Amino acid sequence: MKSPEDIILKPVITERSTYEAAWGRYTFVVAKSATKPEIRRAVEALFNVKVLTVNTMNFLGKRKRLRYRQEGKRPDWKKAVVTIDTQPEPETWLDEGGRKRTSERKYREYIEEFGIGQ
């Protein structure tokens, strides 16, 4: 099993990603082999937020000129757009005796590392 630091490589900080962060959508560069459930678990473990959806996109590396008459290729990469719950509520369920139970886990409303508060 991969660690969360191996799955989430770095955040993508652009005008659009900064604008969407106000609505709880954060963009990350992730490992090419990472799946949506792995990305979900990694974001929840690293940032202590509740993830609603994960959208991923694969990008092919561009061809670039390196030297005179030589051409190279940049690496392929994968991007994930993660939507978090901006108004998390504690989870409740009924146990065997019919009593109502709530979880003790507290979720945050935004990811502070992006520097954007709600």
At 108 the pLDDT is: 80
Contacts of 51 by beta carbon, 8 Å cutoff, 6+ apart: 40, 43, 44, 82, 83, 84, 85
State the total domains in the chain.
1
Among residues 59, 49, 52, the alpha carbon closest in space to that of 12 is found at: 59
CATH number at residue 57: 3.30.70.330
pLDDT in tens, the chain (118 residues): 689 999 999 999 999 998 999 899 999 999 999 999 999 999 999 998 999 999 999 999 999 998 888 999 999 999 999 999 888 777 788 888 888 888 777 778 878 766 554 4
At 106 the pLDDT is: 75
Range of the domain at 104: 4-114
Residue 7's CB is within 10 A of a number of other CB atoms, namely: 22
At 114 the pLDDT is: 65
